[in-house]
Amino acid sequence: MSDQMMEKIKNIEDLRVKIKQGGGQPAVDKQHQRGKMTARERIDYLMDTGTFTEFDIFAKHIGRDYGLDKETVPADGVITGYGKINGRDTFVYSEDFTVIAGTFGEMHGRKICKTVDLARQMGCPIIGMNDSGGARVTEEMGALSMYGQLFFRHVRTSGVVPQIALIMGPVAGGQAYSPALMDFIFMVEKTSYMFIAGPPLVKAIVHEEVTEEQLGGPSIHAKISGVSDRTTKDDKDCLDKTRELLSYLPANCHERPPYVQPDDKPDRLTEKLIEIIPVDANKIYDMHEVIKEIVDGGKFFEIKPEYAPNLIIGFSRLNGHPVGVVANNPTVMAGCLDYKSSDKGSRFIRFCNAFNIPLINLQDVPAFLIGSKSERDGIIRHGAKMLYAYAEANVPKITVVLRKAYAGGYLAMCSKDLGADFVFELPTGEICLMGPAGAVNILFRKEIAAAPDQQKLREEKLKEFYDKYVNPMYSASLQHVDDIIDPRKIRLTLIRALEISLNKIDELPKKKIGLTPV
């Protein structure tokens, strides 16, 4: 009897070993020659050693026609399961390009859908590793329907658990909308592409000749379209970055983001800010340097660094607590808010709000970008997203005005009026309704026109205006800021404000959904 049992076990285990070889050695070699890891190697590298549990390895396609019926497709071209990353439970799926190009068929799709469902129900993040030639054409409606099933699940899972897409090969056609419906997308240099139609179809239909790289390579999506959140240099770098990103995120929307014992003192003086921030508001500086001086150990995980770099967004820690940082960068486009940076910033604010990550807002903003191009780009519609996202967010919101905080830009970078819990201003802060020079030209137009020395009068009036209305004492006297602080004490001030805000309760009015501008 027991021999029979042993034989049954052996048959199953032999088959399991065979399936794990994927598309076979020649296909694996080819994958390696392209500089890519295999689907299983990626999972092994991403997850803590020995923690991965696979399910549905025996899934088999039900294709009846066009030769597919005679084809064996190990694990149906996608590996699914769960395991631990930095000791925390995570669900993963990893498409196997060595198996008929990782094409997306009905069972392949069903496996991914099941993984997303389980991640949502168990309250764990989901990581999707995409490496697929697109829909398996031989499966027709089976593939198309599963795309729809998957999109539906991504949407229903949105805001419940973090969803991260890694583009580690081609992602073509309708499948590109799967990552697009997730929270973050990392792409790998040289080996990854994303487009809704590849070069041959583009040439046939719209008569345009482009390479895969020009159409949807990592640099296009990181710099121009804004589809990608980070470009990584190879598979390992991509997986390392994923582990790093996850270290800032809670497993689901009901948890707090993970506190980590800090290796930096909360009362460390931020001495360098004295040198970094120029007193002259017309001089520029790199806001990255400010962020790195303030946060724990100078560690900052930037999101979309190459897209709309006039606004910096990313994750960091203050005294061990994860925070989302939103900061204007005066080095690029004067740090103004244009339609792209508004789109980038508002999405990030909403993500942080969904996952209980407090927001730290560093303001040096000369306003929303004005002019006919900006209006035509829809700055009113896109700029409104920033206002909406901050006002809607009920996580702790703490703002520092470093220098300029002009007009709508001041409100859109989270002022008290938009619900900031605490606002601090440096002695160099300039909060005002409009740029002081412009205000003086309007207020004293007639006097200046009539003056014998117009320049002299303009300068006098400007000084008077600065003393009365641009001086931080003015905003502090009206309680728009809680305190005017020494730049060297920013870190300590932020940590104290953050720690007192961690139990904040701010109930939103009951409604079905809010209608964020899109």
Q: What residue ranges bind other proteins (CB under 8 A)?
A: 281-282, 284, 330-336, 338, 366-367, 369-374, 435, 437
* CA–CA–CA angle 195, 199, 201 (5° rounding): 95
Distance separating alpha carbons of residues 496 and 316, to the nearest angstrom: 16
Of 390, 388, 419, nearest in space to 516 by CA: 388
Classify residue 378 as left (phi > 0), alpha (psi -120 to 50) or beta. left
Helix 39-46, helix 235-246: angle, nearest 10 = 40
* Closest CB 341 distance from other proteins, rounded Å: 12
Helix 339-354, helix 379-392: angle, nearest 10 = 20
Q: 3-class secondary structure for 444-457?
A: CHHHHHHCCCHHHH
Helix (H) or strand (E) holding 294: helix 287-294
Helix 490-501, helix 287-294: angle, nearest 10 = 60
* Closest CB 281 distance from other proteins, rounded Å: 8
**Choice between 2 and 372, CB closer to other proteins:** 372
**Choice between 133 and 330, CB closer to other proteins:** 330
Please count the other Cβ atoms lying within 10 Å of the Cβ belonging to residue 245.
Answer: 22
* Closest CB 367 distance from other proteins, rounded Å: 7
> Does residue 153 contact residue 113 with C-beta atoms inside 8 Å?
yes
* Closest CB 454 distance from other proteins, rounded Å: 20
Distance separating alpha carbons of residues 143 and 231, to the nearest angstrom: 29
Distance separating alpha carbons of residues 48 and 86, to the nearest angstrom: 6
* Closest CB 254 distance from other proteins, rounded Å: 42
**Choice between 172 and 277, CB closer to other proteins:** 277
Structure tokens at 499: 């720690």
* Closest CB 371 distance from other proteins, rounded Å: 4
> Does residue 445 contact residue 415 with C-beta atoms inside 8 Å?
no
Helix (H) or strand (E) holding 90: strand 88-95
* Closest CB 379 distance from other proteins, rounded Å: 12
* Closest CB 287 distance from other proteins, rounded Å: 13
Backbone φ, ψ for residue 40 (5° rounding): -75, -35
* Closest CB 370 distance from other proteins, rounded Å: 8
* Closest CB 336 distance from other proteins, rounded Å: 5
Of 475, 505, 480, 349, nearest in space to 415 by CA: 480
Backbone φ, ψ for residue 167 (5° rounding): -100, 105
**Choice between 217 and 358, CB closer to other proteins:** 217
* Closest CB 407 distance from other proteins, rounded Å: 11
Distance separating alpha carbons of residues 359 and 322, to the nearest angstrom: 9
**Choice between 101 and 337, CB closer to other proteins:** 337
* Closest CB 102 distance from other proteins, rounded Å: 35
* CA–CA–CA angle 302, 307, 309 (5° rounding): 70
> Does residue 35 contact residue 191 with C-beta atoms inside 8 Å?
yes
**Choice between 33 and 372, CB closer to other proteins:** 372
Listed in sequence order, the residues at least 6 apart from 191 whose beta carbon sits closer than 8 Å to its beta carbon are: 34, 35, 36, 168, 169, 234, 235
